[in-house]
Amino acid sequence: MAKLPGNSQLLDAAGRPLRSLLAINRLDDPEKELLYASLLPLRLRGLLGLAADGLHTATGERLTTIIAPSGLALLRIEVRARPDDADTTFFLELADTQYHQMELSFCIICDPAAPRYDVDVDESGRRNWFASRGRNLPEELRAMEDGLFPNQTRRGLRLFAEFFPLLERFTDALGMEMIVAEPLSYDNAIRYEKYGFDYLRGTRLMLEIDREFQPGGRYHARMDGSTPFRMPGMERTVRGRSWAIHDGVLDEPWDEVQIYKVIGVDAGIDTFPGRERGVR
């Protein structure tokens, strides 16, 4: 049963309750695509000229690909500014968990008109899977200097604030009470805190990061200019800390941080209360 004000149980065309991605994926393609297109923010639709179905432009070009195989409990949505673009403007991956929760695996929203930085490949041009298989230091430096966060290939559209309420209401309409995720970087974790998430795993690490980046802390001492990603003062911003952590400043790898959001509940977590805001 849905809990959010004004929300209701999601039903298929025959009026039967839908309680999971697995159930939606059993539907015929037109019906399930219409349901999944509801996750696309209105501003994204307007920016790309998507029609009411969220899939095509007014001239019939299909910009949205929905991958939701029958028999599997997962969803991928890819939206491109042009059908032949290599990069997506909007990329979303969701999955059911065994505990009847929604797993937010990935959400990437990029400005297709912004400059691209090849931080997703190593210096030989091979995919590096979020820098886990090598880094592209020249491109990372260019991206950082342009105000991007680690792993960003393009500047974002600042649409997550419009997308997340859609996801929360969609999850609620399936009768699920929780969204879970694994932030891939420090700045992602801080960003999720803003949307009411708490930590299943990682609270100790996040508090330790904040403590040790303070003057006198061991991470603060490592902001010594030894690399462009560890310049003094960068520890005062989320972006600066995130680049330093991406550069390996911690005593342990950024790994296994798990977060959750109870539908309709703001956990009120803030593990970096003293950060400088409004700084690129």
Task: Please report, for the chain, the start and end positions of each structural domain, with discontinuous segments joined by +.
Answer: 9-114+158-181, 115-153
pLDDT band at 278 (very low <50, low <70, confident <90, very high): low
pLDDT, position 130: 78
Banded model confidence at residue 249, pLDDT cuts 50, 70, 90: very high
Calculate ∠ Cα 151-259-159, nearest 5°.
Answer: 50
pTM comes to 0.95
184-237 pLDDT, tens digit each: 999 999 999 999 999 999 999 999 999 999 999 999 999 999 999 999 999 999
Task: List CB contacts of 33: < 8 A, sequence separation 6 or more.
Answer: 53, 55, 66, 68
11-15, 111-115, 130-134, 188-192: which range is least confident on average? Answer: 130-134
Stretch 70-90: mean pLDDT = 97
**279 has a pLDDT exceeding 60:** no
Q: How confident is the model at residue 129 (pLDDT cuts 50, 70, 90)?
A: confident
